[in-house]
Structure 1
Amino acid sequence: MPEKNQVCTAEITGLTAEGSGVCRVDGMAVFVPGTAVGDMAEIKIVKVLKSYAFGIVERIVTPSPDRVENTCSVYKQCGGCLLRHISYEAECRTKDSIVRDAFTRIGGLTPEFDSFLGAEATEHYRNKAQYPLAIRDGKAVCGFYAPRSHRLVPVTDCALQPEVFGEILRTVLGYINEKKLSVYDETTGSGIMRHIYLRRGAHSGEIMVCLVVRKDVSRQLSALCRLLTESFADIKSIVMNINPRKTNVILGDSCVTLWGSDTISDTMCGNTVEISPLSFYQVNTLQAERLYAKALEYAAPDGSEVIADLYCGAGTIGLSMAEKAAKIVGVEIIPQAVENAKRNAQSNNITNAEFHCGDAGEVFGKLRKQGCAPDMIVVDPPRKGCSQETVDLIAEASPKRIVMISCNPATAARDAKLLSEKGYSVDKVCGVDLFPRTGHVECVVLMSRDKA
């Protein structure tokens, strides 16, 4: 076994879903952040557990052909872009392997794997960013938390965000510092300004500025609204979200519109979409459209079918299928998102969609008792996957096809395995990169009722 503080030279032979390189030292797997497959590296062992260990790079002896020059000044401190040190081609290979491994090794399944869908744009693709605030050297700053901590890394120019976000951040920070507005301290629960939260329509260009505060300070922010709207013509909405709780949850339940409209609009799969601060909306619009197109391809509705859309958010997936379905029934737990979904259907003259608010398992169970018998179910669960109740209800509904969209291949494979034990074959899987340069990867899964 390797020992703590031991220094050794080893070749990196794999990458984990968390972006760490993997090598073997004295027969034990060692995980080493910031390395690439093919690196020959001098590694210092920093922690040894029963069956694996962790190391840090002392020196790259021979660099991998996959290595590229990192262009972000806070890449190592921020930890958001885990894969910025390798080429995008290598990143796609890694993510494709993560998806395949989840279904074959974790799930024990043998689906057909479609070609991995990499992104055309790997920079400035995000339509949403949430920046916590802190005080550094007596001044308000914003940025991102370092990995596994609440230590703020000050950032205003992030390569994944639209450039205009940096300009807006600097304007807001300048105002906070000029007016001496207090910044929230999560250890004491004191201070007012908590987060700067920005959203932007990828197609429309419309921008929402949401200021997360501990209590109502609308009077102190009125001059900031004038400053922002005079400086940035694309800002269509300025909202104050009030979160009085001593918690690390970003958004509170109450939103007050300070200027403009309550929402912004964008286009998704040809439909106009209304986005509120609390709406779920995929952060990479262009890739999300490719993701939804793959989901529609898998669903293959013929115009006569009822489609249940579970964890539907603002309804974007279901509405993208509405033209080819007899009826869409959406279920979502966030009330504001459900209202957005209803308005999205109305604004696009989609009359065959209805949306219900509540836990997906509970609401769908009630709908089933009322006679809702979907021919097809589309499910887009959170990272933790479907609840056991939801899996059971999906199986009981016995749709002929299930299309699952997941941001966590491991839980998707787990849920697909559970459904395979309840009479469904797992036919196809496709990995899709919605988050270039990060360790995250999405996948789409097609399951069909086993006729046998």
Structure 2
Amino acid sequence: MGRRRRRKPKWVPERAIVGELDRRGRAVVAAGEDGRPREAHVDGALPGESIEYLRCDREGPVDAARTLEVLEPAPDRVAARCPHYGVCGGCSLMHMDPDAQVAFKQATLLADFASHGVEPERVLPALRGPTWRYRRRARLGAKLVPGKGKVVVGFREKDRRFIADLSTCEILAGPAQGPLADDPGRLISALSELIGSLSIAARTPQIEVSAGDRELALVLRVLDPPSAEDLDRLRAFAAQYELRIFLQPKGLDTVAPLETGRELLHYGLPDFEVELGFRPTDFVQINAPLNRAMIARVVELLELEADHRVLDLFCGLGNFSLALARRAAQVVGVEGDAALVERAQANAAANAMTNLSFEQRDLYKEPGAFEWPGGPFDRVLLDPPRSGAAGIVEHFEAIAAPRVVYVACSPETLARDAATLCSRHGYRLAAAGVMDMFPHTAHVESIALFER
């Protein structure tokens, strides 16, 4: 006999005074109070508020819930600026004062350190950038919805099964000049009309938006070839909004510009007199002003001298490497993605920089067997993905630089790796703090300095 499907409970509205925020920015209602059998994590509520809420889903031992009404608001509550907030899943903390958002992220980082038995000797002031129009990369869904008579374009809803029907976006960034410079968010309604006018409207499920300092690019995922009329409409749209369109029929290796010879976008780092080129599908830091501030802080924390040799691990397309090479004698960048290594080499050449070299290596495969090129090094920078750099720090005696800066997009893996560096390799966690790379979300980016 097959297993019977468990029915979802028939929930009714409840009232409570909520506690602290979880990692996703949801306020926690504890179990046991007023006979509640299970803990609830409530979207849209803030610590200390009295609310009415409704449980809506099971998440293991806890229930997900949403706020129905705020009965007594917290001092940190603000009115959300976006008309789509609460439905769109692109932001989760827009109802919270930006200063309180940063304080929450800083507390999350310090709690993660404490859970691994480490504590920074100094807490760095939070790095902050613009609160609005900061996101220069975005992946938008597109879906033809006959019932609405249109193509819906937007981020995923909080209910991830659906695409949010957006007319604008308050966090989307664009180039400094051009038709969209004053309001990049209106690109979304324009895209809805554009895709809806194509013969392949039902076969264009995704649009990636990527902005450089001067350029804007769209990568359209097309499951069927566009017709000649479609191509004419795309060219007209690109001319009207002064942007570039790329088509992606299959995997990333199939992405190609509609008009040949214009593949790269660019962003500058004025403090270091460098400019970097990138393809619209390359990884770049999502918040350009914060990226510039982050690079400046990394250089400050490393205390570079003119004769220093620097190892930049997980270097990508050279975002940090070129800036470091302006202050040091030599920089060696190591990256696992061959395309990004090629881009880093091209960026060094375009800036006439000869004191850099780049190597492609899988930094997760047998890191203990690596022979680091050109060592020893005076300084090391680590900028790993969310999974962290456990394999690297386990074998850090092969590097043994006296000063290390770690840039992290996960405070949990940073704390784990910090414990290894401190307990096994004799480092001190000299300083750490957060960077508000993604305002209005619970995502925590951070930076840490290790010395020995």
Contact 2:316/2:341 (<8 A) preserved: yes
2:362 counterpart (348, 359, 362): 359
Contact 1:331/1:358 (<8 A) preserved: yes
The residue number in structure 2 matching 1:402 is 404
Residues 349-428 of structure 1: pairs in structure 2 closer than 5 A: 349-362=352-365, 368=371, 372-386=375-389, 388-423=390-425, 424-428=427-431
- 2:232 corresponds to 1:223: yes
1:272 counterpart (256, 275, 280): 275
Contact 2:18/2:48 (<8 A) preserved: yes
The residue number in structure 2 matching 1:12 is 18
Deviation at 1:407, TM superposition (A): 1.2
Residue 394 of structure 1 aligns to which amino acid in structure 2?
F
- 2:244 corresponds to 1:243: no
- 2:155 corresponds to 1:144: yes
Contact 1:309/1:328 (<8 A) preserved: yes
Using the alignment, how far apart are the partners of 1:394 and 1:213 within structure 2?
45
The residue number in structure 2 matching 1:258 is 258
Using the alignment, how far apart are the partners of 2:339 and 2:81 within structure 1?
38
Using the alignment, how far apart are the partners of 1:338 and 1:14 within structure 2?
43
The residue number in structure 2 matching 1:134 is 143
Secondary structure at the counterpart of residue 119 of structure 1: coil
TM-score by length of 1: 0.85
2:209 counterpart (198, 205, 229): 198
Secondary structure at the counterpart of residue 179 of structure 1: coil
Using the alignment, how far apart are the partners of 2:236 and 2:253 within structure 1?
26
Contact 1:126/1:283 (<8 A) preserved: yes
Deviation at 1:210, TM superposition (A): 1.8
1:95 counterpart (97, 101, 105): 105
1:114 counterpart (101, 110, 123): 123
The residue number in structure 1 matching 2:42 is 32
* Range with bigger deviation, 34-43 or 431-440: 34-43
Using the alignment, how far apart are the partners of 1:400 and 1:148 within structure 2?
47
The residue number in structure 1 matching 2:6 is none
Structure 1: runs of 5+ lacking an equivalent: 184-190, 245-251
The residue number in structure 2 matching 1:434 is 437
1:100/1:42 CA distance change after superposition, 3 Å = same
1:241/1:338 CA distance change after superposition, 3 Å = farther
Contact 1:280/1:313 (<8 A) preserved: yes
Deviation at 1:364, TM superposition (A): 6.7
Residue 194 of structure 2 aligns to which amino acid in structure 1?
Y
The residue number in structure 2 matching 1:249 is none
1:35/1:343 CA distance change after superposition, 3 Å = same
Structure 2: runs of 5+ lacking an equivalent: 1-8, 175-179
The residue number in structure 1 matching 2:288 is 285
Using the alignment, how far apart are the partners of 1:72 and 1:280 within structure 2?
27
1:220/1:117 CA distance change after superposition, 3 Å = farther
TM-score by length of 2: 0.85
More strand by share: 1
The residue number in structure 2 matching 1:73 is 83
Using the alignment, how far apart are the partners of 1:93 and 1:372 within structure 2?
39
User: Identical aligned pairs, as a percentage?
Assistant: 26
Q: CA RMSD in A?
A: 2.7
- Residue-pair matches, total: 426
